[in-house]
Chains A and B, each alone.
With several copies, the nearest count.
Chain A
Amino acid sequence: MGFQLLEKKIYHLSLSVQKQKSVAPGYWVLSLQSPQISSAAAPGQFVLLKIDKNFDPLLPRAMSIHSIIRADNYRIGFTILYKVVGKGTRLLSEKRSGESLAVLGPLGTGFKLSHIASGYEPIIVGGGIGIAPLLFLAQELMERSYTPTVFLGANSQEELLALDEFESLGFTPKVSTEDGSKGVKGMVTDLLGSYLEDSKGLQAEIFACGPAPMLEKAASLAKSYKLNSQLSLEQRMACGLGACLGCVVKIKNKNSGHSYQRVCTEGPVFNGEDIIW
């Protein structure tokens, strides 16, 4: 058990940008070729990108693995789906094919799937840019012959990310937008709530990523309906490897009190009921 860490495959590679595509105003999908990282990656894991060689910005940026690129059934690369929010993501969006980035990954503990039994319904809930890691998760669940129910929410139709991709995988996501421009007007957790209410007694597990208030709501819904929830959290990071202890969140201890756990190592995916909001 103690040697688990050493067996982890983590690569530090200089990867050149294969493709950079704007998918909505301020949202981009970046494709990177890397058989190693894509082969080692599991849904919910992430990479750290050093966006510029110089000291500004200094620290690498965490980005979830959005999807795996395959050729002839081999994993040859991966994509990230990201939103421009600050200096790092703006610079990232200016990278073009051929430019290179230093990438560390795959990192973190993703969604736990081994315990999912065939009676269970996986429920995927994504809000805004939180949709990013969930496409990879849906793919993986399908490969394992589960058919998740997918809920996607956003501010507006425009920002409903990856809807097409989910659809082309054969899903029919239940959709909400805050401005009502697509699907039901309101929060994605409202949709989720009605669904859970309508299907009481469902054997299910919730997999969610999105803004903190959405996750908190998802956790409390899960609790009400006695379901397990796995939530992907964010925190500022430096090392991504569990070394700096910079990225902790507050997690309930088994008995009482709390401890700080690392989003980059124990997480980013945590059990909803363990998180102290």
Chain B
Amino acid sequence: MVASSSPSLSVELNGLKLKNPIIAASGTFGYGLEYAPLGDLGKLGGIVTKGLSMWEEKGNPPPRICETPAGMLNSIGLDNIGIENFITEKLPQLIRYDTAFIVNIWGRETDDYIKAAERLDEAKGIAALEVNISCPNIKKGGITFGTDPSVTFKLVQAVRKRTALPLLVKLTPNVTDIILIARSAEDAGANALSLINTLLGMEIDVSTRRPSLANITGGLSGPAIRPVALQMVYQTAKKVNIPLVGVGGISSVADVIKFMLAGASAVQIGTANFFDPTICWRLVDELEEYLRNDNISDVNQLVGAMREE
């Protein structure tokens, strides 16, 4: 009973079509071009850019990263070239790759998000926006947007009005009840939700008695947080009606499948790009192979298919 044709890998996130569910996560794949020497970007389901703002942002002083058990901390501080530079310098190079470019945006005020959405709405070659309401590395804005349901609602609604692009809203795990935030984003018109961003964390260098990051605290990512992300995807999938994109510690095709079984329609690969820089490409192949071996004709059959009885 071998499947006669290739399994279908394409997924649709409520208005955003992807050729496969493997997306490179924001902040871990640069603007895409950084990884171009390693493979054909056009093979990937999608690429989310580093978080962009209306202005050029310097970011936090170094050291900005530090390794932790099965994870890492970062306090990049949303260092980015600004949306204008992105549109003029990066986008023209990106559009020759047949993949979905998703622009991750952030701001300090609602207005920053609105302007970003308006500006990007005009640009050609962008598949969707990912609204980052969850970065733990900026002191003002950012994190607060994603921890209060009504603030989330208002922000997403405001952005929704300014762009016809599909909106992914990226949620923070640093909340008591992620479902409240997820529902607010859904009600405000998000097409899909990406979860999770990094967990707040910190590390100290005992020999110097100083924090390992100049910014003192940072965001924890990598395999260490995978169980937290998987749990949040699972819980949220049961309570919202829009597709979810699972992010957090994914580093193998088994992990991809776990997130889909828990209810994610697609996944993002973050920290794993650092310790396994060709992983995104390999996952596309391995996912296809898995489906073929298990005689699954369509990857969407995995979504939410965990057995609970």
**Physical contact A–B (CB less than 8 Å):** yes
Hey, which bits of chain A sit against chain B, CB under 8 A?
2-3, 5-6, 8-10, 12, 50, 55-60, 102, 104, 235-250, 259-260
Which of A241, A249, A250 contacts B277 (CB under 8 A)? A241
Q: Say yes or no for B187: interface residue by CB 8 A criterion.
A: no
In Å, the complex CA distance between A242 and B277 comes to 12
Q: Which of B255-273 contact A (CB under 8 A)?
A: 271, 273
Listed A/B pairs (7) with beta-carbon separation below 8 Å: A5-B33, A55-B222, A59-B274, A102-B276, A241-B30, A246-B65, A259-B58
- The answer to whether A238 and B63 have CB atoms under 8 Å apart is no
Inside 8 A of A250's CB, which chain B residues have their CB? 61-62
Q: Would you call B62 and A244 a contact (CB within 8 A)? A: no
Which partner residue on chain B sits nearest A50 by CB separation? B275
Q: Is the CB of B274 within 8 A of A244?
A: yes
Knowing A6-B36, A259-B58 are in contact, say whether A244-B28 is a contact too (CB < 8 A).
yes
By a beta-carbon cutoff of 8 Å, the part of chain B in contact with chain A is 27-30, 33-38, 50, 58-59, 61-67, 69-72, 74, 76, 79, 89, 92-93, 222-224, 251, 271, 273-278
Tell me if B70 and A243 are in contact (CB < 8 A): no
Q: In the complex, A275→B66 CA distance in Å? A: 22
Minimum C-beta distance from B136 to chain A (A) = 15
In the complex the two chains form, is A248's CB within 8 Å of B222's CB? no
Interface centre among A5, A102, A242, by most chain B C-beta atoms within 10 angstroms, is: A5
Q: Which residues of A contact B89 (CB under 8 A)?
A: 2
Tell me how far the C-beta of A222 lies from the nearest C-beta in chain B, rounded to whole angstroms. Answer: 23
- CA A188 to CA B158, docked complex, whole Å: 61
Chain B residue at minimum C-beta to C-beta distance from A265: B34
Task: Give 20 new A-B contacts, CB below 8 A, not counting A236-B65, A237-B65, A248-B79.
Answer: A2-B92, A6-B93, A12-B38, A55-B70, A57-B67, A58-B70, A58-B275, A60-B274, A236-B64, A239-B28, A239-B277, A241-B30, A241-B35, A241-B38, A241-B277, A244-B74, A244-B274, A245-B50, A246-B74, A248-B62
Q: Is the CB of A2 within 8 A of B93?
A: yes
- The answer to whether A249 and B62 have CB atoms under 8 Å apart is yes
Most chain B CB within a 10 A radius of its CB, from A9, A10, A57, A59 = A59
Contact B76–A245 (Cβ < 8 Å): yes
Per the bound structure, the CA–CA distance linking A59 and B282 in Å amounts to 19
The 7 nearest A-B residue pairs measured at CB: A243-B30, A246-B65, A243-B34, A238-B274, A55-B70, A10-B37, A241-B34
Contact A239–B274 (Cβ < 8 Å): yes
Write the chain A residue with the least CB distance to B61: A250
Complex Cα distance, B58 from A260, in Å, reads 7
Chain A residues with CB below 8 A from B62, complex form: 235, 247-250, 260
How close is B70's CB to chain A, nearest CB, in angstroms?
A: 4
Query: Are B33 and A10 in touch, CB under 8 angstroms?
Result: no
In-complex Cβ contact of A59 among B29, B63, B72 (8 A):
B72
| Alpha-carbon gap, A248 to B93, bound state (A) | 24
**Interface contact A244-B277, CB-CB below 8 Å:** no
Q: CA A9 – CA B38 in complex, angstroms?
A: 9
Q: Identify which of A6, A58, A259 contacts B33 (C-beta below 8 A).
A: A6
Chain B residues in 8 Å Cβ range of A244: 27-28, 30, 65, 74, 76, 274
Q: How far is the CA of A220 from the CA of B222 in the complex (A)?
A: 41
Cα separation A262 to B275 with both chains bound (whole Å):
18
Of A239, A243, A247, most buried by chain B (CB within 10 Å of CB) is A243
Report the bound CA distance from A193 to B222 in whole Å: 47
Q: Which residues of A contact B69 (CB under 8 A)?
A: 55-56
User: How far apart are the CA atoms of A121 and B36 in the complex, in Å?
Assistant: 38
- Determine the chain B residues whose CB is within 8 A of the CB of A56 once the complex forms: 69-70
Q: Complex formed: what's the CA distance from A213 to B209 in Å?
A: 20
Distance from A200 Cβ to chain B, minimum over Cβ atoms (Å): 36
In the docked arrangement, what's the CA distance between A18 and B195, Å? 43
Minimal beta-carbon separation of B228 from chain A (angstroms):
15
Q: Is the CB of A59 within 8 A of B79?
A: no
For A48, the closest partner residue in chain B by CB is: B277
The answer to whether A55 and B67 have CB atoms under 8 Å apart is no
Contact between chains at B33 and A104 (CB < 8 Å): no
Assess whether A3 is in contact with B93, with CB atoms less than 8 Å apart: yes
Asked whether B72 lies within 8 Å of A238 as measured between CB atoms, the reply is: yes
Give the distance in Å from the alpha carbon of A9 to the alpha carbon of B275 in the complex.
Answer: 19
Name the B residues within 8 Å of A12 (CB-CB). 38, 277-278
Please tell me if the beta carbons of A239 and B34 are within 8 angstroms of each other in the complex: yes
Q: Check if B38 sits within 8 Å of A243, measured CB to CB.
A: no
